[in-house]
Amino acid sequence: MSRILLPPSYGTSLSRRRFVQGLAAGGAMLGMGLNPLQGNAASYQHRLGAQVLRGNRFALTYSPTPVNFTGKQRFATAINGSVPAPVLRWREGDTVTLNLTNHLAEDTSIHWHGLILPYKMDGVPGISFPGVKPGETFTYKFPVIQSGTYWYHSHSGFQEQTGAYGAIIIDPKEPEPFSYDRDYVVVLSDWSDEDPDNIYAKLKKMSHYYNFRERTVPQQMAEIQEKGFARYMDERTMWNRMRMSETDISDVTGYTYTFLMNGVTPAEGWLGLFKRGERIRLRFINAAAMTFFDVRIPGLKMTVVAADGQYIQPVSVDEFRIGVAETYDVLVEPKDDRAYAVFAQAIDRSGYARGTLTPDPALTIDVPAMDPAPILTHGDMGMSMAGMDHSGHDMGKIKMQEDQKPAMDHSGHNMSNMSGPEQPMSGMDHSMHNMAGNEQMQQGDMKTKPMMGSGKAGYGSKRAIQHASTEYGPHVDMRSEAPQYRLDDPGVGLRNNGRKVLTYADLFKLGPTYDPREPGREIDLHLTGNMSRYMWSMNGIKFADAEPLQLKYGERVRINFFNDTMMNHPMHLHGMWSDLETGDAKHIPRKHTVIVQPGARISYLVSADALGAWAYHCHLIYHMPGMFRKVVVSKGGAA
């Protein structure tokens, strides 16, 4: 938390009931630069979104700013006095200059999330620059070589949690492949009245501190009736030995969080105006510190046209999950003169953010009911009552059945969302890679030999699982022995819900793959941790003890992630695109943030085309201190 002379009651806990219901006593007068303490203002202007700054020269200022999201005054780490920060609207091909002045009592920074730029402008203290000292001004200057929907945020301490985030919209040089009549930014975030340092300290002491969704006696009785007592006891024994809870979906929940849409609480809700028959572009940005959101607009189909700022082949859905740091652009076409709810429920169903699309501010719509709270299965852990090595819990090692191979049907990009982890998939072609040159573990990260005859591409590696010696010990409490590709799995809480849910298997680039080269080598990264001790790492090594990942300038590499934990991890590589392998090598989509589901594996390709030092990390802010790597791209890098 920024040191900004907070009142003594800053860390006081608030009513759980208020947050679980998604309610808040007051709203933040922030969207149009209004004073957030003017809580009785009759105008609804603050509900319309953030101020927009256009041009190629900008003055941005960090300062402690009073806000009131919950009925109690707190201080935000605000940029230009607002939360979210102003929308920055640029033009592709321009060069932008941004003067950042720090009026906080500690160092700060801005990272331009998803932008391709010189590494010294990337804004990560300790890696690309030293940070901005109190009272100083730092000038960012770089060419804008892309277009689309992105965002910016502090990369210093936990400042992002306290309000330091905003949207970036880059208008393209060439006409876009679709048309629309209105263009709205929808920034989702999570706010807590608690000091984030206190939140982190509580998680370190008790990782499930904010999880109040434990199983009830009636639920247990219903499960016994459904499964039988013997199977029920086997599964309960498994969870108890792992010292984990299948209801532990989010580390930080609505117990402390108020979920915001464009800085507006659920009590009021963001407003987006339209006229019947118009086509509306909604640019969704998940700027939360810790929260995944499931987004839908009941009564309207959404056509997803861009992911992480890059055009994709349009796909029509009822709902999508947006991980921390991801962006999705969707088109909607309201046919009636009525209001529609823009509903973003937290993945653990402990609260929601919401807005209203309406032709008239006087027209309202009921807030949809939240879905039932999800429950993790053994399949979400990369196991089917087998398949996870829990030797740290005296569980022994049990392998998943050899015939459990992932399935993918990309015909027409029509995914049924029926293939959950508890339903083993079959039929996926893994013949495209000859893995003759398997890597050897060294210091927990993978040293690689060149691949031979990789053949057909598009699905990722079939590399056998190897665990380094660094993944054994009290700092790692589980290891997945058979993680599966689950690209067509919408994830826990969204399976078989009767709605068409976007999955990664639906994402195909609009146009040909940027770099069609086969990778010359592969790098395996296991996402590891000890949940009960709240320790996070890659390959069992926390950032403070890790050597940088070395890439050779110009090479093409495949990154294979294996999630050995029970949490979703949004992995973000700075400075370079992550070309996600979704099944069609000719139309590989580019992303800057990739979600790795619990107990799953996922692969993407990286072209090392950006010299310099870059950050690589999980974007959950309280995971980042450990689950982080420095990446160095050099002309003499390891190959």
What CA–CA distance (Å, rounded) separates 249 from 232?
21
Euclidean distance between the first and final Cα of the chain, in Å? 40
Give the confidence band of 214 by pLDDT, cuts at 50, 70, 90: low
Mean pLDDT of 240-256: 76
Q: Which of 87-101, 384-398, 517-531 has the lowest mean pLDDT?
A: 384-398
Mean pLDDT estimate for the chain: 82
The pTM for the full model equals: 0.83
Q: Which of 42-46, 140-144, 216-220 has the lowest mean pLDDT?
A: 42-46
Give the confidence band of 232 by pLDDT, cuts at 50, 70, 90: low
Percent of the chain with pLDDT over 70: 76
Task: Enter the tokens of residue 235.
Answer: 């599964």
pLDDT per position as a tens digit, 460-504: 777 778 888 899 988 998 888 888 899 999 999 999 999 999 999
Task: Enter the tokens of residue 401.
Answer: 């059945």
Q: Which of 179-183, 433-437, 543-547 has the lowest mean pLDDT?
A: 433-437
Give the confidence band of 244 by pLDDT, cuts at 50, 70, 90: low
Mean pLDDT of 202-211: 91
What CA–CA distance (Å, rounded) separates 444 from 432?
27
Size of the chain, expressed as the number of residues it contains = 639
Q: Which of 2-6, 220-224, 321-325 has the lowest mean pLDDT?
A: 2-6
Give the confidence band of 166 by pLDDT, cuts at 50, 70, 90: very high
Give the confidence band of 534 by pLDDT, cuts at 50, 70, 90: very high
- Bin 119: left if φ > 0, else alpha if -120 < ψ < 50, else beta: alpha
pLDDT per position as a tens digit, 558-611: 999 999 998 999 999 999 999 999 999 999 999 999 999 999 999 999 999 999
| Torsion angles phi and psi, residue 523, rounded to 5 | -125, 125
Judged by DSSP in three states, 559 sits in strand
637 or 517, which is more confident? Answer: 517
pLDDT per position as a tens digit, 338-387: 999 999 999 999 999 999 999 999 999 999 999 998 887 766 665 543 44
Give the confidence band of 34 by pLDDT, cuts at 50, 70, 90: very low
For residue 41, the model assigns a pLDDT of 36
Strand-pairing partners, residue 293, are 322, 346
Question: Residue 61 is inside which H or E element, if any?
Answer: strand 57-67
For residue 233, the model assigns a pLDDT of 66
Q: 403 near 426, Cβ under 8 Å?
A: yes
Judged by DSSP in three states, 241 sits in helix
Strand-pairing partners, residue 53, are 88
What CA–CA distance (Å, rounded) separates 274 from 181?
9
Q: Which residues contact 64 (CB under 8 A, 6 or more apart)?
A: 2, 4, 5, 75, 76, 77, 78, 103, 104
